[in-house]
């Protein structure tokens, strides 16, 4: 018989986790074998370590207390169980961590009787651990919308399983605490001696979003010999618990002879019946290996799109293919799973956030899987059509938060200038213009452009409006994106208007301000046009403490709100070099080429460069505009050598849905995009060759002849056998197929003095 009190105490006090051991199935996939999900799992990376399909809706993995964003923590932290929905690489408050399943046995009669991992195996599409004291082994793989578990129990133990519909990450006892998830309700029902269904409803999280509901259907291959349910802290033999704003769950026991129990958990955002359909349609059998191999096959097909030098060191192969993997975990494909509206358009969620991913993640997806990128862009436009605004970030079917610009505009422009077909660009332009012309009112944290009215009236956002500095800069770039699409659609008046607005960043350029040997910075300005050397915190008319504002201010004194700073997650040193659409104009503002090169050197040599955040992503490439791409190469190699590796602390910052990883992948092949524009910057790769296998059987190959640690400078370049003196490459040249050959030498050559952007 069940000891309900001891089982409940067990649920409250469950602990587990460990180091590598065990053998994962499916080792025959060549490129997939290089992926190591542990890269970036520790330190600041925060990547998801469990199994996932490309852009998969379901992401099962261990949940080590309700604190970490991705659910997982390294040993010896406790594990509450294994939840089905997670994000990857994010900062801020946690999101998801829904529908927890926990295997347990006997002997759990004391809270202090806890279990830790004996080992842990983390591989592409596969997770495996065994608990030390109970001896229970848990293996996990997944399909797109259903998780698959294999629990192996010791011979002489009880075989039990808890299904917790009330668990989630980021729980806080403070009602409505910002960025904390809050419980709304849950429900559970034992349907038969093999099946349990229900839902969990949660609100909040990083985007402070509306309530979302995760429905589930769980089915085992062995029958339950006994089942109980709980609501709150009360366990009963009732077979269902309706939603009454309390946490619910089920306790299942199997026959003592059932050493191995397998579990499918279908997930849906529509209903438990749809969750059942997802489980049965995607996994109509009980073969763990078949599910795992199917998952690996999906990844292998994508990894085959970029074939790198087979003689490359194993560490570089792991870094490269893991970077591709991380880039394709999010956003999440929830087409057909949208509870807000129903139409045939693709639906993607968990843009977490476009502020992070527009620079290199979406351009990389465009090269690997252009149809996927088409679907993502169509989804963004359809969210505008149905919700009123495109997201800058979105999670749990709710827009929010806007960190700077309305950056979906840059994603649309990037697709447009690269010729992606199947997108309604006229409707896309409407969505872009909605951002640029209609203030979002009191919802500016979630969508649109906050501070839009003064931006349009003054040509900048004055201090006193949150994130005035980076919003002004980013809106100017978003305006440039609008101009490019307008021009391509033959709307000359709009093109001229938004090209003019794209120069608004200059209205916050304080030309006479000097710092650390450089002159001219983006600095705070009030609504009357006055420059501010000291800025007040807050909006109080009675008490206004002030602090001196300098270009190295990253965060204010203790009393300033982090979200309300002049710049978001960066300093003026960083943002004053972040004008990707008008680098020639930036060079002019900085005093010309010589002064600009000196400024870049100060930026890197004095430590103003911030490797772990996106505003500095393009800065190492700015030497290209000086006709010195070899200096770009030096900086990039130095940055990667110091900050990236193939270990658990292999990423220098939050991966942010693959942003850090995609930056690395591009630089390893010697190209880097300037998002929203149709070219890539060419520099010394870390790999001797990379072949892009494109649509229609076409290939584009990059070869660095003679590349070595000493031969690290490009002497000359040929494109399809013809001399190519330019340091940029058009997207159309890549998709047309061909070969780019870089001839390497020991010293900088004369190649690359021209960028070729006007050719």
Which pLDDT belongs to residue 7? Answer: 42
- Separation CA 104–CA 134 (nearest Å): 7
Burial of 529 (0-12, 13-18, 19+ CB in 10 A): exposed
User: Do the Cβ atoms of 267 and 99 come closer than 8 Å?
Assistant: yes
- Separation CA 49–CA 73 (nearest Å): 10
Q: Which residue in the block uniquely carries the two structure tokens 């608990």?
A: 131
- Separation CA 406–CA 392 (nearest Å): 6
Task: Classify strands 679-682 and 713-719 as parallel, antiparallel or unpaired.
Answer: unpaired
**Where exactly are the structural domains of the chain?**
4-301, 306-682
User: Do the Cβ atoms of 435 and 446 come closer than 8 Å?
Assistant: no
How far is the CA of 423 from the CAs of 323, 337, 499, 701, in angstroms? 27, 21, 23, 28
Name the DSSP class of 21. Answer: -
- Separation CA 38–CA 57 (nearest Å): 20
Burial of 123 (0-12, 13-18, 19+ CB in 10 A): buried
Residues 6+ apart with CB under 8 A from 441: none
Instruction: List phi, psi (to 5°) of 104.
Output: -155, 170
Closest CA to 137 of 118, 156, 161: 118
Q: Please state at what angle helix 408-417 crosses helix 361-368, rounded to 10 degrees.
A: 30
pTM of the model: 0.94
Q: Tokens representing 582?
A: 């008008």
Which pLDDT belongs to residue 66? Answer: 80
Which pLDDT belongs to residue 115? Answer: 75
Which pLDDT belongs to residue 168? Answer: 97
Which pLDDT belongs to residue 28? Answer: 75
- Separation CA 376–CA 388 (nearest Å): 17
**Domain 306-682, CATH:** 1.20.1610.10
**CATH class for the domain made up of 4-301:** mainly beta
Which pLDDT belongs to residue 116? Answer: 86
Closest CA to 740 of 759, 758, 757, 724: 724
Element (H, E) at 187: strand 181-190
Instruction: List phi, psi (to 5°) of 335.
Output: -60, 130
User: Do the Cβ atoms of 545 and 559 come closer than 8 Å?
Assistant: yes
Which pLDDT belongs to residue 724? Answer: 98
- HSE-CB at 132 with a 13 A cutoff on CA atoms is 17
Residue 236: count of CB within 10 angstroms of its CB = 11
Q: What is the mean pLDDT of each run of 10 residues along the chain (759 residues)?
A: 40 33 54 98 96 98 90 93 96 95 67 71 98 93 98 93 96 90 97 98 95 98 97 95 97 96 98 98 98 98 97 98 98 98 97 96 98 98 98 96 94 98 98 98 94 98 94 98 98 98 98 98 97 80 80 74 84 97 98 98 97 95 98 98 98 97 98 98 98 94 97 98 98 98 97 94
Residues 6+ apart with CB under 8 A from 322: 34, 35, 36, 37, 39, 40, 646, 661
How far is the CA of 256 from the CAs of 154, 261, 275, 611, 749, in angstroms? 10, 11, 29, 54, 74
User: Do the Cβ atoms of 472 and 524 come closer than 8 Å?
Assistant: no
């Amino acid at each position: 018989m069940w000891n309900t009190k001891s089982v409940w105490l067990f649920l409250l006090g469950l602990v587990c986790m460990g180091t590598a051991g065990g053998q994962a199935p499916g080792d025959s996939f060549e490129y997939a074998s290089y992926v190591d999900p542990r890269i970036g799992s520790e330190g600041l990376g925060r990547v998801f370590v469990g199994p996932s399909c490309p852009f998969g809706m379901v992401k099962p993995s261990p949940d080590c207390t309700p604190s970490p964003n991705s659910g997982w923590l390294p040993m010896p932290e406790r594990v509450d169980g294994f939840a089905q929905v997670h994000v990857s690489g994010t900062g801020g408050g946690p999101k998801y961590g829904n529908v927890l399943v926990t295997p347990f046995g006997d002997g759990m009669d004391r809270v202090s009787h806890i279990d830790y991992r004996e080992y842990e195996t983390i591989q592409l599409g596969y997770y495996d651990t065994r608990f030390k004291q109970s001896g229970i082994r848990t293996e996990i793989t997944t399909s797109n919308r259903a998780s698959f578990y294999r629990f192996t129990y010791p011979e002489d133990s009880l075989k039990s399983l808890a299904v917790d519909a009330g668990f989630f990450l980021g729980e806080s006892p403070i009602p409505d605490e910002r960025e904390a998830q809050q419980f709304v309700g849950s429900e559970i029902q034992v349907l038969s001696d093999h099946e349990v269904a229900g839902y969990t409803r949660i609100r909040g999280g990083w985007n402070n979003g509306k309530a979302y509901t995760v429905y589930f259907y769980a089915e085992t291959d062995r029958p339950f010999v006994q089942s109980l349910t709980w609501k709150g802290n009360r366990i009963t033999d009732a077979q269902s618990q309706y939603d009454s704003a309390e946490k619910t769950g089920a306790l299942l026991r199997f026959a003592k002879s059932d050493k191995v129990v397998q579990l499918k958990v279908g997930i849906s955002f529509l209903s438990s019946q749809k969750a059942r359909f997802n489980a049965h349609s995607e996994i109509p059998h009980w073969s763990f290996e078949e599910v795992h191999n199917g998952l690996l096959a999906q990844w292998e097909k994508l990894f085959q799109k970029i074939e790198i030098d087979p003689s490359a060191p194993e560490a570089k192969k792991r870094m490269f293919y893991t970077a591709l993997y991380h880039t394709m975990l999010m956003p999440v494909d929830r087409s057909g799973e949208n509870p807000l509206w129903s139409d045939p358009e693709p639906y993607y969620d968990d843009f977490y956030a476009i502020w992070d991913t527009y620079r290199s993640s979406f351009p990389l997806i465009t090269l690997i899987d252009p149809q996927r990128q088409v679907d993502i862009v169509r989804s963004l436009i359809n969210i505008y059509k149905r919700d009123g605004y495109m997201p800058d970030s979105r999670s749990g079917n709710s827009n929010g938060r806007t960190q700077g610009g309305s950056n979906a505009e840059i994603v649309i422009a990037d697709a447009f200038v690269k010729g992606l077909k199947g997108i309604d660009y006229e409707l896309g332009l409407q969505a872009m213009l909605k951002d640029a012309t209609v203030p979002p009112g009191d919802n500016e944290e979630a969508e649109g452009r906050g501070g839009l009215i003064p931006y349009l009236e003054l040509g900048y956002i004055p201090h006193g409006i949150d994130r005035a500095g980076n919003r002004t800069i980013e809106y100017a770039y978003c305006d440039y994106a609008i101009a490019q699409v307008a021009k391509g659609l033959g709307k000359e008046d709009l093109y001229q208007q938004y090209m003019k607005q794209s120069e608004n960043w200059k209205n916050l350029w304080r030309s006479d301000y000097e710092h650390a040997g450089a002159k001219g910075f983006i600095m705070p300005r009030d609504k009357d046009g006055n420059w501010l050397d000291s800025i007040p915190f807050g909006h109080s008319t009675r008490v206004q403490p002030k602090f001196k504002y300098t270009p190295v201010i990253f965060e204010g004194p203790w009393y300033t709100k982090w979200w309300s700073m002049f710049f978001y997650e960066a300093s003026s040193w960083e943002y004053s070099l972040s004008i990707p659409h008008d680098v020639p104009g930036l060079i002019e503002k900085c005093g010309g080429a010589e002064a600009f090169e000196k400024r870049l050197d100060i930026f890197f040599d004095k430590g103003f460069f911030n490797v772990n955040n996106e505003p500095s992503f393009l800065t190492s490439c700015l030497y290209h505009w000086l006709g010195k791409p070899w200096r770009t190469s030096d900086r990039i190699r130095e940055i990667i050598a110091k900050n990236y590796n193939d270990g658990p602390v292999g990423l220098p910052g939050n991966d942010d849905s693959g942003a850090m990883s995609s930056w690395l992948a591009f630089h390893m092949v010697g190209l880097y995009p300037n998002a929203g524009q149709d070219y890539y910057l060419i520099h010394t790769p870390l790999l001797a060759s990379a072949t892009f296998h494109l649509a229609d059987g076409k290939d584009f190959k990059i070869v660095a002849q003679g590349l070595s640690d000493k031969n690290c400078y490009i002497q000359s370049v040929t494109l399809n056998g013809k001399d190519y003196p330019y340091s940029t490459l058009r997207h159309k040249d890549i998709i047309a197929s061909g070969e780019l050959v870089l001839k390497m030498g020991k010293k900088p050559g004369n190649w690359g003095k021209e960028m070729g952007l006007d050719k």
